[in-house]
Structure 1
Amino acid sequence: MFKYQINCLTCVPLRLAVLTLLWFYSVGSSFAAHSTAIERSVDLNQDFEITGTILDNNGVPLPGATVLEKGTNNGVQSDFDGNFTLEVSSEDAVLVISFVGFDTQEIALNGQSTIEVTLEENAAALDEVVVVGYGTQERSDLTGAVETADLETFRKSPNTNIAQSLQGTVPGLSVGQVTSSGSTPSLNIRGSSTISGNSNVLIVLDGIQYNGSLESINPNDIESINVLKDVSSTAVYGAQAANGVILITTKSGGYTRGTRVSASSSYAIQEPTEDIRPMRREEYLNHMYDLLYEEAYLAPDYTQPNPNFNLEDYIDPSMLTEDGEIAPFDYDWFDEGTHKGYINENKVSVSGGSEAVRYLFSLGLTDQENFIRNDNFQRKSIRLNLETKARDWWKIGIQSFGSFVNKDGAEPSMDRLLRQSPLIQPYDENGNLVPFPFNTNTENPFVTYDVNDYERHDYFFANLYTEIDFPFLTGLSYRLNFGNNYRINKYYRASEYAAGFTGEAFKNHNNYYDWNLDNILTYKDKFGKHAINATLLYGAIKRQNEYTGSTANGFTRLSLGYNSLEQGTNQFAYSDAWQETLNYQMARVNYKFDDKYIFTGTIRRDGFSGFAQNNKYGYFPSAALAWVLSNESFLQNEKINNLKLRVGYGLSGNQTSRYNSIASLITRPAYIYGDGGSTAFGQEQNTLGNADLRWEKTTGLNLGVDFSLFSSRISGNVEYYINRTNDLLFQVAIPHVTGFNDINTNIGKLENKGFELGLNTHNIEAEDFSWTSTINFSTNKNKILELTGRDSDGDGVEDDLISSNLFIGESLGTIYAYQTKGIYQLNDEIPEGYFPGTLRVVDQNGDGNITPADDRVILGRSEPAYRIGFINNLSYKNWNLNVFINSIQGGKDGYLGYNLNRLVLDDNALRDNYPSGVNFWSPNNPAGDQPLSRNNATIEPGVWKDRSFIRLQDVNLSYSFEPNLIEKLSLSDLTLFISGKNIATWTDWKGWDPETNQELTRNGRPVMKSYSLGLNLTF
C-alpha cells in the first residue's frame, strides 16, 4: 500500500530534503549508467556494417531520420538523401527507426547488410478523436473551428483553477488574470456578440451543461478541453452558444488489466508582480509639503522652503501627540494586512479496469493563502468515474465528483490599508482596535478583517448514463445522459463593528439544483467511398434556486456570533426562489465522400421559459463544408501531408434572463390611514412587460484552412470569421409620460470579425534532444452597425446613444472623452476655471470654451488589436523545459485603460496616504504626470494609457528519474519539477497590472508571481 501526503507548512523543509536526496541519487545513478553504457559500447564487437535508405510512403527520402540499434546508445541519422551507414554489434541486431510525423519501425537484420525502409505517416493527429458536442468525431472529419487546448504543457504550473491553464493557448479564446485565491478568470471566445445580453461562455462538463464555478473542479481530473468557436460548431447548443462553448472531458480508467496509482505534491510561494506600497513616514511628510506648497514654500516659484511654515498647524490632530508635535510613528499598515502567499497541492488517483469494467477514483487537496490576509481558498475534491459493460453491446456508467470549497475569513480593505497614515496606529495602548483612527468616517481597515467569517461552497455533480450499440443494426447507438448539479452556498458572519458598531450577524443559505436529460441517437456507417455520422437529440433542463437569509443587529454581546441571532435587538428575514426550464431538439449529419469532400448540417430548436409569450422557441440551423485537397490526385506532393479547406455558416442564439419579458411589481409604502395611523404597504408595477421580446440571433461565416507540411514538421490552421448579431437585447429609453423610463426590447445589429492562426513546428528532432514550438495568434474587432434607427436631426444619420457609450460604426469598447495635453504649470496662461496642477484639456473646435458636446472625441478603444502566445518545449534526455510567453497588444489607439490619480487639496487629502511612487505634479516636480491642485477644475477629464504587455507567463522544468531508481522503488514513473508563473512582465503601464486594467489605485489587487516545487510519481 502506498501512502504519500504532505499537507503542512512545517513539512516543506523535510520534503525539500527528500527531493534533493532523490535528485542527487538519480544524477549519480544516471552518471553510473551512462558510464556503463560507454564501457559496454567500447566492449561491443561492432564489426557488422549496415547501410540503408529511409523513405516515406511516397518514396521520398527522409533526411534526419534516427536509426538506433535496439538496446544500445549506438545510432546515427540519415543524410539529406535519406541514406545512412551504421556499425552494429551483430548481423542479428534490431534497428529502431523513427522520424517526426511517422510511425516508428523495428527492423530485424537477419544477416542483411543493405536495407530500404518505408515509414508510414502517423495519422494519429488527423485521426484523433475530438469531442464536438453530443458525440465525437475524428479530427480529419471536422468542418468547423474546433480547437483542443494544450493542457500537458501546464500540468505542472501552480494553477488552482483549470481555466488558468487555457490562458493564451487557444487562438480566439481570451482568458483573464486572477487576483484572488482560487477564483475563475474571465472567459471570452471571439470577442463580444451582445450589448446587454448573456455574455457567458457555455461550459459543458462530461456532456452536461455546467453552471457551477470552475473553482470546484480539480485540474488533475481533466483529460481534455475542446473549444467550439464558430457558429457551425456551436449550433448544436443553439440558444446557449452565442458566446462559444468549452467542452471539458474528465479522465476515465483504462483497460489496463491492473491498477495504476498516481500521486503528485507541490508547494508554491507567491508574491505580487508589482511591489506597490503606500508612502512611509518620510515620503508621506514630504507629500504633505507638496500639497501645501503655497504655505510651505515661498512665492513666486514655490521651490524655496518657507522658514515660517509649521506642518503641525495644518496636519490632522489624529497624527499629533498631546504636545502638538507630529507623532513619531512609522506604522506599516500595508505590511500588517498582507503576507507572502503560498499554494500547497496534493493529488492522488487510482485507475484501471478490465474489458468489462473501468474506473477512476481521485482525491485532491488544494490549500492557498494569497497576498492579502484572509484571502484564503481551500478545495477538497473527490471523484469517481465508473463504467461497466453489462453486455457486449450495453454500457452503464457514472461520472461524478464532490468538491468542498472553504473561503473562511474576511480581508482587510485594500483601499484603507493604502489610505491610512503611517503616523497613526490601529490599536490603542490597551491593545483595543481603534475604529476610526482619523476621527472621521474612514474606518480602520482591520474592522473588516477582525470578524468571524464563514464561507463554504459545496458542489455535487453526477452524470448517470447508459449507452446501447444495437446488435441488430451495426452503427446505430443510443445514449441517455441524466446530469445532476447540486450546489450549497453558506455565508455567515458576525462583527462587533458593523451596524454602527452596535454589532451585526447574519446567516445566508443558498441551494441550487438542476437536472439535464439528454436522449442521443447516433448512426455511423461506411459503405464504399461514403461515410455518414448522424445524430438526433431530444433533451430538457430544469433549474431551481432557493435563498434564505436572516440578519440581526444591536447586540449587547456577540459571544455566540451568528449562531444566536435572536439576541439581536433588530431581526430581519429574507427569502427568494426561482426556477426555469428549457427543452430542445437537434439533428446533425456529417457526410464524407472519398475522404475528400465533407458536409456537416445541423438544425436545433430551443425553448426557454424565460422568453416572452409570443417567442418561446427559436430555430438555429447551420451548414459547413470541407475539402481535403491533399487527397486529390492533382495535389500529391511529398511536402504537403495534409491540406483541408473549410467553410461554415450558421445561426446561434442568446437568451435573456428569466424575467425580462414580463412586468414586475414592487412593494412600497402606499397609504397612511388617518393622522398618526399606521402605514399600509401596496404593490405597483415597476417595469413594463414585452410579450414580443425574442432571442438574439447571431449569424456567422467561418473560413478555415488546416495544413500539415514537410513530413508534419509544420502544422496548424488559419481561421477567418465574421459574425453579425441581430435583435440585440437592450433596455430602450421611452418617454417618461408612460410612467416608466425604459423597456426591454430587441434593437440594432453588431458585427464581430477576426483572424486566427495556430502554428506547430518540430524545430529539432534528434536522438537525445528535441525542440517543438507552438504559436497562437488572434485578432478581433467588433462594430455597431445599427441601434434604435432614430434620426433626431434629420440628417440621414442614425443617432448614437452617447449616454450608453454606443456609437454607430465604432466598437463596444469605444472611449469617448476629453483629450488632454499635459498639466498646467505655474507660469502658464491658464484659462478661468483651471489651476496650476490641473490637466490641460484640448479645445477641439478652437472656440475658447471646453464643452461636452463640442470637445469630446473618440480617443480609442479598450479592446486589443491582437493577442499572441508562444510556447517552446525542449527535451534533453531526462530533462524537459516548457517556456510560455503571452502578449496582448493594442496597436494604434487600442487596449486603452483609465490611468489617473487626481488629487485636489481638501480635508481628506491632508490625511490620506497614497501609493508610493505616484508621480504627482508639484512646483518641485513640474514633470509629474498626475494632477495635484489646490482647487477642482471646471472639467476634470480622465487619462487613458496603453495597456500592451509581454509576459513571461509560465516556465516549467522537470526531470524524470532513471529507470534503475524507479525500478528499485517499485514505481513506473518519478518526476521532479520546478515551475514559475507570471515571472516577468514588460509594459509601459503604471499600476498593479495592465491585463487586469488596474492603475496605481488604492483599491487595486495584485496579480501574483509564483514559484513552485513538486513531485509526480506513478506505480
Structure 2
Amino acid sequence: MFSSYAKSSIAQNILDKKITINVTNVTVQNVIELIKKQTDINFSYSNNFLLSKKLVSYNIKSKTVGNFLTEDLSKNEVDFKVINNQIVLFSGNEIADEKNLSNTKKAIPISGYVYDSDGLPLPGVSISEKGKTNATSTNLDGFFTLNVSDENAVILISSIGFIAKETKVGNQKSFKLTLESSINSLQDVVVIGYGTTKKITSTGAISTITTKELVQSPAANISNSLVGRLPGLFASQAGGEPGNDQSKLRIRGVGTFTGNTDPLVLVDGVENSNFNNIDPNEIESLTILKDASSTAVYGIRGANGVIIITTKQGKLGKPRISYSYNLASNSFTALRAGLNSADYARAFNIARSLDNFVSGSNLGPLYSPEDIAKFESGEDPIFFPNTNWYDVVLKKASSQSQHNVNISGGQEKVKYFISAGLFNQEGLFRDFSFITKDFDPNTTYKRYNFRSNFNFDVSKDLKITVNISSQTENRRSAFSNFTTSRIIGEIGRAAPVTGPGFVGDKIVTPVVGDNNPIAAILGDGGAGGLRRDYRNNLSGLLRFDYKLDAITKGLGTYGQLSHQTFNSQDIINQRTQLIYQAVKSPTGPVFIPNGTETSFAFRQQGTNTRSSFGQFGINYNRSFGKHNVTGLILYDQQKIFDPALAFAIPSGVQSIAGRVTYNFKQKYLAEFNGAYNGTENFIIGKRFGFFPSGSIGWVPTEEAFFPKNDIISFLKIRATYGITGNDDIGGARFLYNPTSYTFTGNNNYYFGNALTNYNGVTGIREGRTGNPSLTWEEKKSSNLGLEAYLFKEKINLTVDLFRETRNNILATPNTFPSLVGFIQPAANLGKMRNEGLEVQLGYTDKAGEFGYRVSGNLSFARNKILFQDEVARTFSYQNRTGQRFGQYYGLLTDGLFNTWDEVNADSRPVYEGNNRIQPGDIRYRDINGDGFINDDDAVPIGYSNIPEITYGISLGTTFKGFDLSILFQGVGNVSLNYTNYQRSPGFGGAPIAGTASYLIESWSPERYAAGLPISFPRWNVTGSPNYKGSDFFTVNASYLRLKNAEIGYTFSNKILGKVGMKNLRIFFNANNLITWSNVYDGIDPENLPSNNTSEEPYPLVRTINGGLTVNF
C-alpha cells in the first residue's frame, strides 16, 4: 500500500487518534462514517471510491487511525493521503507511484479554485486525477494545485453534499470550477422533531426548502415566500398592508371547525410566534412535518403540523462577507373599477324606472340630461363631480427596499454567523400632508433584523451554541376610528357623484350621500391623527452538546435554555380634523367649516410578553454491524407571561418525549415516537396525555432480488400511524370554570307568582356553566408514502396518501330542550375527518453548460364534518353534518326572467317575503316542490371557502452566468360568495354607494332587446329578491397565478478578483405578476373579503424588484 502525508504535528495528531470498530458486512463508506463520528476527522473521497460497493467486516479496539488505515483498510485496496488536515481516500485501482509521476517529464502542474453555485469558495474539496493517486484538496480559499500526467488527464472534483464532476485538462493550466449542491442526495440530512436524520432512512412525511428559494420572493415576511413551494402547505395572504400582510398557513387543510388551525412553528428548536419577521437571509432551511410520525413528539401541540426553521451557522473557513440589496416597486394586483358619474346617473335612472312595479309608485329619473352632461363635461367638479376614489385616495406605486449584510466563517474551535438587515416598505395611500399640515397619513413600515450564531468546540466532546436575535419594527399610519379594511371598504363604497373629497387643502363633505374616504382616513367623528407602533422581539438561546462515548459509544446529552421578550408600544397623536361643507353661491362655491379643529392629544399604551423555554435530552446513535439504532428521550417546559391572557395567568406546557429508530442495512426501517405532555388549559387531573406514533419503511432497491438498473435507482415505501393533540380548542380560556356570577337586580326570579304579579326576587345568576370534563382535540392519522429516484436520479417522485380523524372538537350542545333553563356549556362533541393526497415530482438535467429543472407539487385535502350535535333540519340536504367545513349554502337558480310571460307562468313558485317579481329578476328553483321559494330550498352550493387543491409548478434554467426561474401557483375546488358591494349597484333611495363597472352588464329591457351580454339581474334602488344567497353569486374561485419570476447573472471571478470580490450577482424578480381566474374583474381571488360588509381587505400588491448580491 502507498500512503503519504505531511510531516507535521497536526497530521500526526490526526493519525494518532484511537478508534474502536465492530461491524460486519458493511461498505467502506459506512466504516469511514463511524470513524468520523468517533474522531471528528474530515475525509474526502475520490469518485471511484464513492462508487465502491464492496462489503467489509472489522473487529478492532483502541487502535490508531493511522494503523487501521495502513494495516486493515489497505487489505481492501483502499489507499490514503493526509492533506490540509484531512484524509483523502482512494480505491485500489487508482494506486500508482506518485513520486514517479512527479519526476516524469510529462507531468503538468495545474491549479484553480472551486466554488459553490453562489460563487463562494469551497474548502476541503477532493481533487484527484482519474485512474491515479495524485490528489489534493482545496484550502480555505477554495484553491488547489496538482500535478497531472499529461494533457489527456481527467481531474475528478468531489465533496460531500455536492454533485461530483470531472473535467479534462487539455491545454488549460488554470481552472475555475463550480460544484452544484446535491439537493436530491439520499445522504442529505433532513430536520425532524428534536433532531435530524438521513433522507434515505426517514419514514415521515417531510418537505423542505432552502434559503435560495426563500429569497427569490421579494416578500415582506417568510409566510408569503412559501406560497406554492411545498406540498401539503397552504398559504393564503389576507391583505397587502405594510406590516400586516402575513399569510395564513395550514398544513394538509383544516381538521377542526372550532379549534386553532395554525401549525406549531419552531426556530432552532424553540417555539416562535414572531417567525414571520425573520430575515430570509438568516435561514438555512425550512421544513414542514406533516404526519403523526413526524409530529407525535410534540404531542398536544402537533395536530396541526409543525414548521421547523433552522438558521444559518458558521462554517470552517476564512471570513465570508455577503451583502445583498433589493429595491422594489409595489402596486395593487387588483382594484374594482367603478362606473363614471355619467354612467352611474344613467344606471340610477334606469333602476328607478324598473322599480316602479315593486314599489308601487311612479319614480321618475333623479338626474336630468343636463345633469348628466355636466358630469361628462367636468365643468363643475364640486357639485357635479366625476370622482374616481381609488385615484384620489391611493397611489399607483410605492417603494420597498431591503438590505442585508452578513459575515460567516470560523476555525476548528469557533465558528460564527452574524447578520444584520433592514426592510423598508411604504403603503399605497396618498400623501395628504397638504391637508393635515403636520404629518403624512400613508402607512410606512420598517424592520431591523439582527442575528449572531456562535458555535464553540470547547473540547472534542463538548460543544456550546449561543444564538442571539432581534427584530425591531416601526410602523406609522393614520389614526382613525376606522380600521384599514374599513377605509378600503369606504373607498369601494363611495359613489363618483358624491363629491370631490377635497378642494385645495380642505376636506369637503359629500354633496350627496355620506361617504368621504379622505375623511375616514384623516379623522371621522373627531378621531384623526397619527399612530406609531413600535415592536421589538429579542430572543436568546444557549445550548450545549456533550458526547458520552466514555460511557458507551454513540451516547450523548444536550440541554438548552431560551428566553424571548416581546415589547410593544403604541403612541397616538389624536385631534379633530376640520371638515368643510360646500355651499353654492352666485360667485362660486363657499366652504363653511363644520366644528372646530383641535390641537393634538397624546396617549400611549404598551405591553410586554415573555417566554422561557428549557429542554434537556439524552440521545444515542450507534451501529452494530448491519443494525443501526438511534434513541432520544427529553424533558422540556415552556412558560409564557402575557398580560393579554385571560386572568393574567401565565400559559405553560410540560413534556416528556422520546423516539427510537432502527434500520437494517438502510433497507428495513422502523421508528417509534411518543410524548407525554400537558397544559394549564384544562382542569387538574385532565391536563396530561400520551401521544404515540409508529412508522415503518422498506427500500426494495436494496434487496438482492431487485435488478440494478438506471430506471429505478431508489425506491422507498413507508407507512405511519399515530395520535396527536390540539390544546387550543377554541372558546374562552378555562372553559372548565363558570365565567362569572352576576347580581340580577330586581324582577328576575319568580317563585309561584301569578302572571299579573311581577314582584321578582333579587339574586345571583351564573353567566356560563363550566365543564370540568373538557379536554384536548385528539387527531388519529395514518399516512402511506412512496419515494423514488428514477433515470439516474434525474427524476425524483414523492407520493403521500393520508387520512386524519379528529375527535373531541369543541361544540355547543344544540339538542337540549330550551326549557332546561341555563346556558349549556361547550363540550368535546365534534368529530371531523380530513383526507387527501400529495404529489411532488421533479426533473433535473444538464446538457453541456445548459442546466434545466422542472418540478411540481400538488396537494388535495377534503374535510367532512362527522358530528356536531346538530338539531335535525326539516330537509336532510340542509344538515351541516356530513358536509365540508366552510360549505356555502343557498338557492339554486335558472338564469333570469326575461319577459312578463315567464314571470306570470302558472308554474312559477311564490317568492316568500317579496313576490313582486318582474323581468330582470333571478329565477330560483323550488327544490322541495312546495310551490314557495324560501330558506327551505337552500342547498349546498359550490365548494367551501377553503381550497381543497393547492399546487405549484417551478421551472428553472442556467447557462454560463445566467439563471432563470419561474414559479406558478394555484388553488382549486374553492368557492367565493360575492359580498353585497361586489354584486349589487348599492343605489338605495339616494346615490350613496359606488357601483362596479362590470355591473354595466345588468339586465335592462334595452340590453335584452339588443341582444347585449347580460351577466347580472336588473338595476334596483328599493327592495329586490335578487340578492338572496344563491349559486348566481357563488362562483368557482380557483385560480392560477404567475407567482414569481427571476432572472439573474453572476459575473466571472476573473473580473471580480481584481476588485476584491469573490462573487457578484445581479437579478430582477417579480411577485404576483399575472392571475387567471373566473372572478369578476378587479377582485383578487386570494384576497377574499370578510363577512363584514363594510370592510374590504387591503389589496395584495404586485412587486417588481431589482437587486444584487456581492460576496467578499
Q: TM-score, normalised by structure 1?
A: 0.79
Contact 1:399 1:462 in 2 (8 A): yes
The equivalent of 1:468 in structure 2 is: 546
The equivalent of 1:967 in structure 2 is: 1057
The equivalent of 1:980 in structure 2 is: 1070
- Deviations 1:118-159 (Å, cap 9, x if unpaired)? xxx979711111110111111112111011125423423211
Q: Secondary structure at the match of 1:288?
A: helix
The equivalent of 1:874 in structure 2 is: 957
Contact 2:498 2:513 in 1 (8 A): no
Contact 1:272 1:1006 in 2 (8 A): yes
The equivalent of 2:897 in structure 1 is: 824
For these two proteins, the number of residue pairs brought into alignment is: 884
What's the offset of the Cα at 1:405? 1.1
The equivalent of 1:767 in structure 2 is: 848
Distance 1:998 1:820, change over 3 A: farther
Quick one: which of 201, 213, 223 aligns to 2:284? 223
Q: Secondary structure at the match of 2:643?
A: strand
The equivalent of 2:493 in structure 1 is: 419
Q: Secondary structure at the match of 1:253?
A: coil
Distance 1:534 1:285, change over 3 A: same
The equivalent of 1:114 in structure 2 is: none
The equivalent of 1:567 in structure 2 is: none
Q: Secondary structure at the match of 1:164?
A: helix
Contact 1:949 1:986 in 2 (8 A): yes
Distance 1:791 1:952, change over 3 A: closer
Contact 2:210 2:283 in 1 (8 A): no
- Deviations 1:644-667 (Å, cap 9, x if unpaired)? 110000000011353222211166
What's the offset of the Cα at 1:192? 1.0
The equivalent of 2:1111 in structure 1 is: 1018
Which protein has the larger Cα radius of gyration, Structure 1 or Structure 2?
2
Quick one: which of 1035, 1048, 1053 aligns to 1:945? 1035
The equivalent of 1:279 in structure 2 is: 339
Q: Secondary structure at the match of 2:1086?
A: coil
Distance 1:313 1:687, change over 3 A: farther
- Deviations 1:638-687 (Å, cap 9, x if unpaired)? 22221111000000001135322221116678479xxxxxxxx9985321
Contact 1:761 1:772 in 2 (8 A): yes
The equivalent of 2:770 in structure 1 is: 689
Distance 1:700 1:750 in 2: 12
Contact 1:723 1:753 in 2 (8 A): yes
Distance 1:330 1:791 in 2: 53
**Identity over aligned residues, as a percent?**
25
Q: Secondary structure at the match of 2:705?
A: helix
What pairs with 1:995-1010 in structure 2 (closer than 5 Å)?
995-998=1086-1089, 1003-1010=1096-1103
- Deviations 1:320-370 (Å, cap 9, x if unpaired)? 99x999924333332232111222111111111111111111111111113
What's the offset of the Cα at 1:396? 1.8
The equivalent of 2:262 in structure 1 is: 200
Distance 1:987 1:395, change over 3 A: same
What's the offset of the Cα at 1:753? 0.8
Q: Which amino acid aligns with 2:1045?
A: V
1:132 partnered with 2:214: no
Distance 1:439 1:713 in 2: 65
Quick one: which of 540, 560, 565 aligns to 1:481? 560
The equivalent of 1:809 in structure 2 is: 882
Distance 1:817 1:741 in 2: 30
The equivalent of 1:33 in structure 2 is: none
Distance 1:836 1:263, change over 3 A: same
Distance 1:908 1:671, change over 3 A: same
What's the offset of the Cα at 1:1013? 0.6
Contact 1:319 1:326 in 2 (8 A): no
Contact 1:171 1:776 in 2 (8 A): yes
Quick one: which of 578, 581, 591 aligns to 2:662? 591
What's the offset of the Cα at 1:792? 8.7
The equivalent of 2:713 in structure 1 is: 641
1:189 partnered with 2:218: no
Unmatched 5+ stretches in structure 2: 1-47, 55-108, 113-147, 172-180, 431-441, 479-483, 579-593, 748-761, 905-909
What's the offset of the Cα at 1:906? 5.8
What pairs with 1:374-453 in structure 2 (closer than 5 Å)?
374-410=442-478, 411=484, 413-425=487-499, 431-434=505-508, 438=512, 440=514, 444-448=519-523, 451-453=529-531
Distance 1:422 1:731 in 2: 46
Q: Which amino acid aligns with 1:951?
A: R
Distance 1:165 1:94, change over 3 A: farther
The equivalent of 1:335 in structure 2 is: 391
Distance 1:754 1:547 in 2: 37
Unmatched 5+ stretches in structure 1: 1-52, 60-68, 73-88, 112-120, 549-574, 673-680
Q: Which amino acid aligns with 1:249?
A: T
What's the offset of the Cα at 1:707? 0.8
Quick one: which of 591, 608, 625 aligns to 2:696? 625
Distance 1:538 1:577 in 2: 26
Distance 1:320 1:743, change over 3 A: farther
Quick one: which of 154, 171, 181 aligns to 1:95? 154
The equivalent of 2:738 in structure 1 is: 663
Distance 1:518 1:453, change over 3 A: same
Distance 1:142 1:997 in 2: 38
Contact 2:1087 2:1097 in 1 (8 A): no
1:743 partnered with 2:825: yes
Quick one: which of 147, 155, 179 aligns to 2:215? 155
Contact 2:355 2:1021 in 1 (8 A): no
What pairs with 1:37-436 in structure 2 (closer than 5 Å)?
91-96=150-155, 103-104=163-164, 106=166, 125-177=185-237, 178-182=239-243, 183-212=245-274, 214-256=275-317, 258-294=318-354, 311=367, 327-339=383-395, 340-373=397-430, 374-410=442-478, 411=484, 413-425=487-499, 431-434=505-508
Q: Secondary structure at the match of 2:826?
A: strand
Q: Which amino acid aligns with 1:649?
A: Y
Distance 1:761 1:157 in 2: 22
Contact 1:772 1:874 in 2 (8 A): yes
- Please provide the CA RMSD for this pair: 4.1
Q: Which amino acid aligns with 2:265?
A: I
- Deviations 1:838-870 (Å, cap 9, x if unpaired)? 332211133321121245444443343422211
Distance 1:781 1:770 in 2: 38
1:928 partnered with 2:1014: yes
Distance 1:819 1:493, change over 3 A: farther
The equivalent of 1:612 in structure 2 is: 683
- Deviations 1:230-287 (Å, cap 9, x if unpaired)? 111110101101110000011111121x211100001111112224333333333333
Contact 2:810 2:827 in 1 (8 A): yes
The equivalent of 2:8 in structure 1 is: none
- Deviations 1:161-216 (Å, cap 9, x if unpaired)? 1112211111111111342224210100011111101211110111001123x332
What pairs with 1:508-527 in structure 2 (closer than 5 Å)?
508-527=605-624
Distance 1:464 1:925, change over 3 A: farther
Q: Secondary structure at the match of 1:366?
A: strand
Quick one: which of 786, 811, 814 aligns to 1:705? 786
Contact 2:663 2:669 in 1 (8 A): yes
Contact 1:200 1:243 in 2 (8 A): yes
Contact 1:428 1:434 in 2 (8 A): yes
1:533 partnered with 2:630: yes
Distance 1:348 1:756 in 2: 38
Deviates more, 1:456-465 or 1:227-236: 456-465
The equivalent of 1:571 in structure 2 is: none
Q: Secondary structure at the match of 1:976?
A: strand
Q: Which amino acid aligns with 2:558?
A: R
The equivalent of 1:722 in structure 2 is: 803
